[in-house]
Structure formats: C-alpha cells, structure tokens
Structure 1
C-alpha cells in the first residue's frame, strides 16, 4: 500500500481543513496517510513516503512564508526526492496583492528536489468552500493517478 505524508502549518485552521480534505480523499484510494504539523517534522521525513504533500498559508501583504515554514522550505530543495509524487495546497486572503504564493514557493522547491508533480497546486481563499473542496479532492485524485502510472 502506498503511503503519503502531509506536512502542514495552519494559523486559523483554514489550511488544516484543506489538509483533512486531501487526506480523506487519498484514503478513499486506499492510501495510508500521515498528517503532521511542520513544527513536529523535518523535510527528511518525506524520504520514507511515496506521496509527499505540503500545506501552508501565505502571510501578510508581501505574501511571505510563515516563520515556522522557512527552514523547512530551505531544506526541502536539498533533498533527493526522485520517484516521489508531490502536491501542494494552501490558504491565503485574496484581499492582499500577493495571493497564496506559498503554494508556488513549495512547488519550486519540490521541483529542485526532483519530485514529480502530481497535480495542480490548490490556492484557497480563507476557509475551503465547496468549489475549493472539489479542487482539493481533484489534487488527491490526480496525485494517485500519477503515482499509479
């Protein structure tokens, strides 16, 4: 059975809600899923899993990574994640000029680490609504399809 690790950070619960949606959908496909808060994780944890995901909110006007994600983000690109299928999702507030840039930042790091993109990153405005839920489920479905091929 394939195993997935979702590492996330959530300030208001929005990104955690996204992680739970993705996790539940992966489990629908028979994937064994572990969810961990970034404060309890290291990027090296991804080496033990087939499918690797990051969920992060984007902070403030300039669209910066949350403090607790900065070191994790830097170290991620130094890993060799060849053969791993990845996905990224996050929440933000479209009130700000830079929206959900953490998703793009993490996709870039996964590419540097040699991981295979499983699906289009999902950017959620605040709390996941019904349409966001569909996109998050599609991300999980696409990741499983990529992994199985």
Structure 2
C-alpha cells in the first residue's frame, strides 16, 4: 500500500500532541482493520515546515515514524518505508494526494489531513479509481522514489 501526500510528514510532526495526526490515525485504522500483514510506503516532501529553523533530518523522520509504528495496536503493519522527496519533486512529479492499494486508488483532495483530530474540520474531495488510470499513479510513485535527492528509511 502506498500513501502519496506531500504534506503528510510535516503535518504529522507539527500536529498537536493531544490528538492523533491524520497520518497516525490512518495507520491505526489500517492496522486495526487489516486482515493480514501490511507493508506501507509513504511518499512525502521536505516542505517548508521541515526546513529552516525547525530543520528535520531523515533520522528525525525515522525516529518519529518508529514511535508511531510502536504505538500501532494490532501490529498488522509489518513495515513502513518512507521516501522524503525534495519539495520541488512534488511540484514536478506529483501534485495529487492519494492512497493506492494494489490496483485501486483513493484520490483525497486534502490528503491525510482529513483524518486529523476527532473529526475533519475541512471539506475535501475524494474519488476512487481502478483500471487503466492506475498506471499514472504508479508512475508518480516511481518518479518520486527515483528523484536523485530523495532520502528513504525503512521501519520494521
């Protein structure tokens, strides 16, 4: 399963600690409802909130995701791999935010932000796709992962 959301990691790190971020809530729901082992790949960007004065490293991102991974209740997610792409990589290769399960894609306008907090405070468009359209989504993932400045980590 793949999550492509330019802002997912930045929003997770900036999120208030007294509520679940959209990323953590989504991963918990997946972990609870999974009927077997799941592997999750996240594509996110080095957005402005991860740079500058509050600069985060790939080690910081790994530490944060390890904490989330450790809090998953059922341990059905066996691996999380994160690709941190330069912000310009998303501008060039992947504007949309989506979740891909094999040959099915859930396009989410606001991305995982819709899962922030107890309820979604914003409206978001969403669409479900399958068939030949999925090839374009897989290409976006390949382009983001193949960016020369992309950094990745795997959490097991």
Could you state the TM-score of these two structures normalised by the residue count of structure 2? 0.34
Higher relative contact order (CA 8 A, sep 6+): 2
Which structure carries more strand by proportion? 2
TM-score between the two structures when normalised by the length of structure 1: 0.35
